[in-house]
């Protein structure tokens, strides 16, 4: 738009990515800066022949890192009653919409493989969405009712993470998932598919383990690797995950980055 400074925030992941990319190509001459929240998207931007790639600015999502949280003991007790947790069992957590992109099927298949070798593991599924009946039916079909528990929608992410040992993600596409950032902030080691911006968050072997998507065996292997790491390594991963979020992905830090870029665009520098 002639005479105006124009900034565009661009999300190129998801099923509408091709449409968004086309729109960006059509409008690129009318914008001064394009903010994008992941390096995967930046690579796609260049790969798809978008001109003036120098206008692209990578600024990741951020979360509030200084909020105080209260652990809900009543919620913990309620969940423990539902899942009948034994002292030696490990809790894996997944919080997500029950939608195709989250690929809960792969997560269930991977967990079925895991508990054949390591039965002292349980998976809590939190969220809602149209695929809940399909996934809960798959859990029953696999005979995993004693290992995988769908608990509906629970908003207290801090308590869920604090009472869990690991976070698992099986998505086959993502942007920069806030829930993984929250799990990292609350010191959960992560096992996830390496899609979208997730590799920007997780340092493989330091704050978690990543694997290819749509592959139950690969996801199970990553989970087994986490279990084999042992308590000391797992604790160190949780600390590193928390440190990463506080140092690189806080809203305070990224707010300053946005402001600096706005000032640069407005000043024409």
Residue identified by tokens 């929240």 is: 37
Does residue 203 lie in a domain region?
Answer: yes
Same domain as 113, residue 33: no
What would you measure as the largest C-alpha separation in the chain, in angstroms?
Answer: 66
Same domain as 96, residue 41: no
Q: What is the percent of the chain where pLDDT is above 90?
A: 67
Does residue 12 lie in a domain region?
Answer: yes
Q: Give the bridge partners for 46, in sequence order.
A: none
* Digit-coded pLDDT (tens) for 125-168: 999 999 999 999 999 999 999 999 999 999 999 999 999 999 99
Range of the domain at 17: 7-62+250-267
Does residue 1 lie in a domain region?
Answer: no
Same domain as 110, residue 175: yes
Alpha-carbon gap, residue 43 to 48, rounded angstroms: 9
Average pLDDT on 175-187 reads: 96
Average pLDDT on 238-263 reads: 92
Does residue 198 lie in a domain region?
Answer: yes
Per-residue pLDDT, 170: 99
Same domain as 260, residue 244: no
Same domain as 258, residue 232: no
Same domain as 156, residue 45: no
Average pLDDT on 117-125 reads: 98
Least confident of 83-87, 127-131, 151-155, 177-181: 83-87
Same domain as 229, residue 171: yes
Alpha-carbon gap, residue 231 to 88, rounded angstroms: 12
Same domain as 100, residue 12: no
Per-residue pLDDT, 101: 96
Q: Please enumerate in sequence order all residues whose Cβ is within 8 A of that of 268, keeping only pairs 6 or more positions apart, or say none.
A: none
Same domain as 91, residue 153: yes
Per-residue pLDDT, 13: 53
Same domain as 149, residue 244: yes
Does residue 68 lie in a domain region?
Answer: no
Per-residue pLDDT, 18: 66
Does residue 118 lie in a domain region?
Answer: yes
Per-residue pLDDT, 50: 63
Give the confidence band of 17 by pLDDT, cuts at 50, 70, 90.
low
Average pLDDT on 5-22 reads: 55
Number of domain units in the chain: 2
* CATH number for the domain harbouring residue 150: 3.40.50.2000
Per-residue pLDDT, 6: 47
Alpha-carbon gap, residue 269 to 260, rounded angstroms: 11
Average pLDDT on 39-45 reads: 72
Same domain as 108, residue 51: no
Give the distance, in angstroms, between the CA of residue 52 and the centroid of all CA atoms in the same chain.
30
Same domain as 28, residue 86: no
Does residue 117 lie in a domain region?
Answer: yes
Average pLDDT on 173-181 reads: 93
Q: Please enumerate in sequence order all residues whose Cβ is within 8 A of that of 127, keeping only pairs 6 or more positions apart, or say none.
A: 94, 95, 96, 97, 98, 152, 153
Give the confidence band of 1 by pLDDT, cuts at 50, 70, 90.
very low
Question: What does residue 230 show for φ and ψ, rounded to 5 degrees?
Answer: 85, 160
Does residue 2 lie in a domain region?
Answer: no
How many CA atoms does the CB half-sphere of 46 hold within 13 Å?
A: 11
Decide: 239 and 247 in contact? Cβ < 8 Å: no
Per residue, what are the HEC states of 187-246? CCCEEEECCCCHHHHCCECCCEEEECCCCHHHHHHHHHHHHHHHHHHHHHHHHHHHHHHH
Average pLDDT, the chain: 89
Element (H, E) at 255: helix 251-267
């Amino acid at each position: 738009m002639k005479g105006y400074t124009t900034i565009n925030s661009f999300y190129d992941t998801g099923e509408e990515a091709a449409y968004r990319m086309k729109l960006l190509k059509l409008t690129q001459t009318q914008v001064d800066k394009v903010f994008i929240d992941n390096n995967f998207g930046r690579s796609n931007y260049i790969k798809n022949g978008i001109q003036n790639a120098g206008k692209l600015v990578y600024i990741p999502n951020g979360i509030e890192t200084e909020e105080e949280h209260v652990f809900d003991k009543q919620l913990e007790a309620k969940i423990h009653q539902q899942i009948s947790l034994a002292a030696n069992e490990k809790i894996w957590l997944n919080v997500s919409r029950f939608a195709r992109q989250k690929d809960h099927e792969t997560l269930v298949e991977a967990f079925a493989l895991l508990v054949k070798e390591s039965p002292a593991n349980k998976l809590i599924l939190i969220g809602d969405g149209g695929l809940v009946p399909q996934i809960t039916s798959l859990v029953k079909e696999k005979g995993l009712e004693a290992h995988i528990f769908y608990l509906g929608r629970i908003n207290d992410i801090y308590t869920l993470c604090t009472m869990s040992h690991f976070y698992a993600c099986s998505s086959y596409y993502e942007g920069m998932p806030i829930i993984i950032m929250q799990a990292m902030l609350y010191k959960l080691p992560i096992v996830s598919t390496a899609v979208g911006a997730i590799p920007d968050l997780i340092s493989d072997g330091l704050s978690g383990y990543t694997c290819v998507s749509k592959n139950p065996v690969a996801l199970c292997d990553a989970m087994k690797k986490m279990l084999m790491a042992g308590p000391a390594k797992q604790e160190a991963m949780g600390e590193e995950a928390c440190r990463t979020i506080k140092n690189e992905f806080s809203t305070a830090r990224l707010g300053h980055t946005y402001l600096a870029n706005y000032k640069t665009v407005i000043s024409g520098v």
